[in-house]
Amino acid sequence: MGNVTPIGAPRPRVLEFFAGIGLAKMGLEQAGFSVAWANDYEEDKKAMYVAEHGDNHPFALGDVANVTVDQLPRDAALAWASSPCTDLSLAGNRAGFAGAQSGTFWQFIRLMDDLKDDRPEVVVLENVVGLATSHGGDDLTAAIRAFNKLGYSVDVLALDARRWLPQSRPRLFLVGAQNPPEDCPDPNSELRPDWLQSFFGDPTLDTHRAALPAPPIPKTDGLDEVVEPMKPGDARWWDAERTKKFVSSLSKVQAERIAELKRGDSATYRTAYRRTRNGVAVWEVRADAVSGCLRTARGGSSKQAVVKLGGPGKKLQVRWMTPKEYAALMGAPDYDLSGARTNQALFGFGDAVAVPAVKWLGENYLLPLLRGELGVRTSTVEDALGEAVSNG
């Protein structure tokens, strides 16, 4: 087994794959890490990354398939990969790891393999929860097995950003450890729900369940606090005709709900998505004061609208959500948007990971794991896999 990072060591260094606009970097560095190298293939995302974080470490712009091991620092303690989710998302084509974009995961594995004895002690793969069901679970199994072959035992956790932010954004986190803690099964776990348990029960996989504190309870409101103040006459509010079409597309139940909120003495906010039901485009408004999952702005149907209801005049007003609101809902309210185009910003945030989810994982799992504070399993990965094979 590798050496456990001493408690007094400098901030552990990170390799950040598929870095996007740098929200994983933000959360990791808030937790006590230091990103030493990053990669992404989109120029627009790198431009936002550099505008926010500066240009103080190497950033490999381009296809990860073109990255070679000699470009990577050899002293990293953690490798983080938020690999593209297009082929794994419930809203995607479900091609899985065989897809052109999500298949880049294997390039990450290639580079970890090429690092040999210098590979980081801990690796993290962040992706959509659809990874757990992609190809009947075969894709997640393949990911765990790939990490196992590199000497990592794997934990699998599900975290929703709404535990910290008024946005429903469930994500899956695979934590691979060369020095894993003892397995601590947790019945009725908030972090490892029932639909993940089959992976821990597979005797051909080396897995562990670290003993972790419970995350905050999910939020049921808070949208009002992140909505960008906007005067009633602001040109970004939709005109009367467009607003009328919006209202006319609502179901009877939703129309009644909206009418009730509209009668309120104080203004409140909801978010809405445009969806296709029975071949007809309709708007659906969330019942709670929490945003739906932010998505990349490819076409109007993937963008969220903000609905303002009640207050003086008992009005209903609708507009598109702004980049500043996207940033706040991702846990980066002060993100530098000065040089970003609207769609550039919406795409960047919609394709990212929420900052406080990363920070929580870093503070409560990754840093304690590296410091040996979670304990260390007595058997090695090779021992565990050998026992599984011998037991059939």
Beta bridge partners of 59: 38
For tokens 């990971």, what's the residue? 353
Is the distance from CB of 329 to CB of 164 less than 8 angstroms? no
Question: What's the CA dihedral at 95, 98, 101, 107 to 10 degrees?
Answer: 160
Beta bridge partners of 172: 127, 158
Query: If you ran DSSP here, which 8-state letter would residue 228 be given?
Result: P
Beta bridge partners of 281: 276
- Check if 85 is active-site: yes
Q: Which of 289, 221, 288, 284 is nearest to 254 (CA)?
A: 284
H helices within 201-341, ranges in order?
A: 223-226, 240-248, 252-262, 323-329
Give the H or E element holding residue 128.
strand 122-128
Query: If you ran DSSP here, which 8-state letter would residue 216 be given?
Result: P
Instruction: Describe the chain by its helix, strand, coil percentages, rounded to 5.
Output: 35, 20, 45
- Output the six-digit token pair for 94: 């479900």
Catalytic residue among 26, 85, 111, 374: 85
Distances (CA, A) of 66 to 21, 70, 104, 107: 20, 12, 11, 9
Beta bridge partners of 60: 39
What burial letters (b/e) apply to 49-62, b meaning 16+ CB within 10 Å? bbbbbeeebebbee
For tokens 């909505």, what's the residue? 227
Q: Which positions are catalytic?
A: 85
